């Protein structure tokens, strides 16, 4: 049982209100590692995606151990998105049809949704938008990593998917606290101010969960510094990629309503040695790819007709 959910918020705060903010957060997070665990398949997928030499065969072998995931992926490959002539019945053919790159992100995302069901979220928050945002940042992050050579594309993909881990756990596991945040935001506060007031900074919460799970330090750092990449001590380039991808996702209609993302673009372009005209070309490519990822995701989650294209509003111009 989640101790935060059964605790009166006033008691929860007064018990630790004399502590510095970081320690208050830590005192609330001490049990997170025990409360939440990732499915085995998801851990194995994480490891696969971190390896440069992962093949379609490797992906197939991991996915086939998870019958639920296998069924979803085969169903997706038979959906109207792909218009296959002969019904698909095996994972290896599904990988060929859907695409290896797309399936890596989607499979990992599906694993995470088994742990964090964002369809049951507090009223007033769009859980689907949070997953789509994570997928979009994952995709954009990988494209930026490939284009700049500044970070490993697999790490960028995973970092993008996990960067809002703290928000994901707040929304899905701590509804009382998340509702308090929403109340402050609805009264005019920014997410950052509301989180600070309640000692619930999502970067810190995500960091603690990642650490408790034993995720590699590189992802702990991305999660902790994704809004302040210049402060990222070791993996500054990767964190900058995720921060830029985060901003681009918001600007392209794949944002989270409660969070606005501002970045120091000249500084980040300098860190990544990325020219603005190259970034603008990348944005065009992103606009083509992301709606397809959204379609796949919707189909997998709902087993229904994909939603109409929601993104594609990103301007290539920076002002």
Tell which phi-psi region holds residue 199, choosing left (phi > 0), alpha (psi between -120 and 50) or beta.
left
State the nearest-atom distance from the C-beta of 203 to Fe ion, in Å. Answer: 6
Of 92-100, 216-224, 243-251, 302-310: span binding Fe ion (CB under 5 A): 243-251
Q: Tell me: does residue 152 bind Fe ion (CB under 5 A).
A: no
Q: Tell me: does residue 104 bind Fe ion (CB under 5 A).
A: no
Please pick, from the candidates 246, 252, 290, 294, the single residue that binds Fe ion as defined by CB under 5 A: 246
Letter string b/e over residues 73-98, b meaning 16 or more CB atoms within 10 A of that residue's CB = bbebbbbebeeeeeebeebebbbebb
Cβ proximity to Fe ion, 74 vs 204, nearer residue: 204
Number of residues in contact with Fe ion, rule: CB under 5 A? 2
Of 27-35, 91-99, 168-176, 244-252: span binding Fe ion (CB under 5 A): 244-252
SS3 content of the chain, % helix, strand, coil (to 5): 70, 0, 30
Cβ proximity to Fe ion, 72 vs 173, nearer residue: 173
Q: Cα separation of 4 and 303, whole Å?
A: 33
CB proximity list for 271: less than 8 A, separation 6 or greater: 150, 229, 230, 236, 237, 240
Cβ proximity to Fe ion, 155 vs 164, nearer residue: 164
CB 26: neighbour CB atoms within 10 A? 16
Q: Tell me: does residue 143 bind Fe ion (CB under 5 A).
A: no
Give phi and psi for 60, each to the nearest 5: -60, -45
Q: Tell me: does residue 195 bind Fe ion (CB under 5 A).
A: no
State the nearest-atom distance from the C-beta of 100 to Fe ion, in Å. Answer: 25
Q: Tell me: does residue 66 bind Fe ion (CB under 5 A).
A: no
Of 108-116, 141-149, 157-165, 295-303: span binding Fe ion (CB under 5 A): 157-165
Q: Which residues bind Fe ion (CB under 5 A)?
A: 164, 246
């Amino acid at each position: 049982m989640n101790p935060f959910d059964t605790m009166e918020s006033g008691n929860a705060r007064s018990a630790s209100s004399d502590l510095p903010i970081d320690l208050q957060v830590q005192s609330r997070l001490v049990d997170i590692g025990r409360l939440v665990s990732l499915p085995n398949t998801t851990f194995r997928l994480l490891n696969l995606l971190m390896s440069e030499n992962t093949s379609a065969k490797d992906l197939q072998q991991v996915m086939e151990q998870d019958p639920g995931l296998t069924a979803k992926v085969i169903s997706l490959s038979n959906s109207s998105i792909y218009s296959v002539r002969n019904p698909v019945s095996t994972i290896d053919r599904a990988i060929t049809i859907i695409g290896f790159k797309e399936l890596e992100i989607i499979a990992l995302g599906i694993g995470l949704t088994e742990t964090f069901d964002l369809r049951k979220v507090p009223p007033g928050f769009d859980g689907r938008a949070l997953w789509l945002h994570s997928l979009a940042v994952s995709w954009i992050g990988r494209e930026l990593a490939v284009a700049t050579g500044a970070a490993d594309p697999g790490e960028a993909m995973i970092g993008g998917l996990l960067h809002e881990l703290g928000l994901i756990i707040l929304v899905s596991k701590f509804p009382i606290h998340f509702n308090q945040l929403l109340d402050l935001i609805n009264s005019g506060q920014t997410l950052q101010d509301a989180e600070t007031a309640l000692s619930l900074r999502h970067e810190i919460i995500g960091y603690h969960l990642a650490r408790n799970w034993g995720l590699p330090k590189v992802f702990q750092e991305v999660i902790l510094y994704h809004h302040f990449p210049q402060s990222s001590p070791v993996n500054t380039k990767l964190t900058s990629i995720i921060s830029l991808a985060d901003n681009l996702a918001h600007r392209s209609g794949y944002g989270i309503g409660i969070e606005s993302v501002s970045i120091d673009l000249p500084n980040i372009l300098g860190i990544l040695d990325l020219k603005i005209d190259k970034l603008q070309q990348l944005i065009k490519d992103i606009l083509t790819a992301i709606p397809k990822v959204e379609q796949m995701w919707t189909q997998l989650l709902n087993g229904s007709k994909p939603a109409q294209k929601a993104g594609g509003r990103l301007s290539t111009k920076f002002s």
